[in-house]
Amino acid sequence: DGGITQSPKYLFRKEGQNVTLSCEQNLNHDAMYWYRQDPGQGLRLIYYSQIVNDFQKGDIAEGYSVSREKKESFPLTVTSAQKNPTAFYLCASTRDANTGELFFGEGSRLTVL
Amino acid sequence: GQQVMQIPQYQHVQEGEDFTTYCNSSTTLSNIQWYKQRPGGHPVFLIQLVKSGEVKKQKRLTFQFGEAKKNSSLHITATQTTDVGTYFCAGPKGGGNKLTFGTGTQLKVEL
């Protein structure tokens, strides 16, 4: 079945460590996004990519990095520079970079110990 | 920058009662989308509204886009326990399809 796969589903990290969250889609979508969700809050855009080998910062990019080497993959690295990394991370994609519904993965819950 | 606010933040209803959540943008939107997120789950697309004054229905759900394209509402008639979750509106910010999400309305339905 087509969809978006995020891994790992749960992740624990010690302070000072970098961690990479995986996002893979087999929907043949051009655009991919990373959102962060904190308890009781809406989604905030971290990074997005409209095409392979190109990506732009969202509203809260500090402390995060991404790459888009393949159309199917858009991994997110949470670096030690991110001051409050504990959150629920959601990856999404859209067929068209200019419009259309977002398809979300099931999310990765990161906890910093 | 563009802000999208939703009210109320929380709503508890008895099963069978109606529910409405309101979404307000500080800027005019080209379109607005609605998503539902079940507890512990991920957001799922419900609908997109594009035209000024547009009204769309999905069974017991009615979506409306304001005439000025700065506000929207979602109304659920005769809520059921399956309606439990958080409802988000979202509008495009800047170019492309970068969506700014509203703060969400968490709906709880009691038997």
pLDDT of the residue at A1: 63
Pairing of strands A103-104, B71-76: unpaired
Closest residue in A to B103 (Cα) is A42
Quickly state the pLDDT bin for A20 (edges 50, 70, 90): very high
Instruction: Inform me whether the pLDDT recorded for A2 exceeds 80.
Output: no
Q: Is the pLDDT of residue B96 over 70?
A: no
Gyration radius (Cα) of chain B, Å: 13
pLDDT for residue B55 is more than 80: yes
- The mean pLDDT of A7-28, rounded to a whole number, is 95
| Average pLDDT estimate for B88-111 | 89
Nearest to A101 among B45, B98, B106 (CB): B45
* DSSP one-letter string for A71-83: TTB--EEE-TT-S
Tokens, residue B36: 């539902």
Neighbours of B15 (CB within 10 A): 12
Q: Give the mutation candidate from A32, A102, A109 for the B interface (greatest B CB count, under 10 A).
A: A102
Supply the mean pLDDT for chain A. Answer: 93
pLDDT tier at A18, thresholds 50, 70, 90: very high
The pLDDT confidence band at residue B1, using thresholds 50, 70 and 90, is low
Task: Give the type of residue at A22.
Answer: S
Beta strand pairing status for A108-112 and B85-92?
Answer: unpaired
The verdict on B100 touching A (C-beta cutoff 8 Å) is yes
Q: How far apart, in whole angstroms, are the C-alpha atoms of residue A51 and residue A100? A: 15
Quick check: B97 and A96 CB within 8 A?
Answer: yes
Please give, rounded to a whole number of angstroms, the shortest distance from the CA of B92 to a CA of chain A.
Answer: 8
What is the rounded average pLDDT of the residues B72-92? 97
Q: Pick B42's closest partner by Cβ from A99, A100, A106.
A: A106
Q: Chain A residues contacting B, CB < 8 Å?
A: 31, 33, 35, 40-45, 48, 50, 58-59, 90, 94, 96-107
Cβ pair A102:B44 closer than 8 A: no
pLDDT in tens, A67-112: 999 999 999 999 998 989 999 999 999 988 777 899 999 999 999 9
Q: Average pLDDT in the B81-89 region?
A: 97
The confidence score (pLDDT) of residue A111 equals: 95
Q: Could you report the per-residue pLDDT of B30-44, keeping only the tens digit for each?
A: 999 999 999 999 999
